[in-house]
Amino acid sequence: MGFRGLRDLSALCGVLSMVSAPAWAGPELFIRGVTWDGRVVDIDIDTGHATQIASGAAFRANSLTMAPDGSLMFINPENGRTLSTLSADGTSIVESRTLDQLIDVRALAWDGSGDLVTFGPHPTEFGAGMWSIDEDTLGVSGPIRVTRGDSTPYSGFQSAEYAPDGRLFAWFSNGSAQGADGLVVIDPETGVGTDISPAFSNGANFQSIAFAPDGRLFAVTANSLTTSGVDGYSLFEIDPVLGTFEVIGAFGENFDVRGIAVIPAPGGLGVLALGLVGVARRRRG
């Protein structure tokens, strides 16, 4: 199926825009995260404080994404081929399936049309590659090399997420090489990226980014230090227009969080998910 792009994403974003407002009036939100060493944590969206809710090798992850039905999916880095789905309460795996090929996944995002978009090291060329995974068949297409407009390759991404307006955002994490770390918008058809703030150097090695339905963009750091001294093991909010950010608060423990998703508190998830799935089904029909 390849990169089908944003076939259904306009419909998906229509639902999100209806629940978006300067002050979020929907269900209470929180952040669920998965760690490199196999833990699931819930993060307070206002304070950054994290609480472990599950642990085990099956939960090892380097990314996390939310499907239109509200389920959270990740690819276990143990073998790079197992796509797992968390239970609604985050304490168990309800489904594990095998991709048709190995991918060194560093970032994962749902494109709203039935495909998962993933980023990792390009297997044959320097820099980052982008793959598409068909959620139904688990067939893998790609990679497309991810570059700037002048064909200069981005060396790596640790996180990616579709915004409510349909654009694919990613965080370029590269330390001191190839320019500063920062927020990028990527064309999912061509792999060409645009730096949100090309002259802005911040050195924040964010491991995951996630949008809330109201357009707020959150990020987490895993390491205790970054190149600019940005707090590690903490929750941040990023300005998606400027690419700047500010810390919300520390986890309270050294959770090596590699993937996050913003989800409604219990009781609110089903309402939002049913709306998204209904639109997607009408669009495909």
User: What does DSSP say about strands 245-250 and 206-211: parallel, antiparallel, or unpaired?
Assistant: unpaired
Distance of CA 90 to the CA centre of its chain: 17
Instruction: Report pTM.
Output: 0.82
Q: Is the peptide bond before 188 cis (omega within 30 degrees of 0)?
A: no
| Tens of each residue's pLDDT in the chain, 285 residues | 443 333 343 333 433 333 343 455 567 999 999 999 999 999 999 999 999 999 999 999 999 999 888 899 999 887 788 999 999 999 999 999 999 888 888 899 998 777 899 998 888 888 889 999 988 888 999 999 999 988 988 888 889 999 999 999 999 876 444 446 789 999 999 999 998 876 555 567 789 999 999 999 999 987 654 445 567 899 999 999 988 889 999 999 999 999 999 999 875 554 444 334 333 333 233
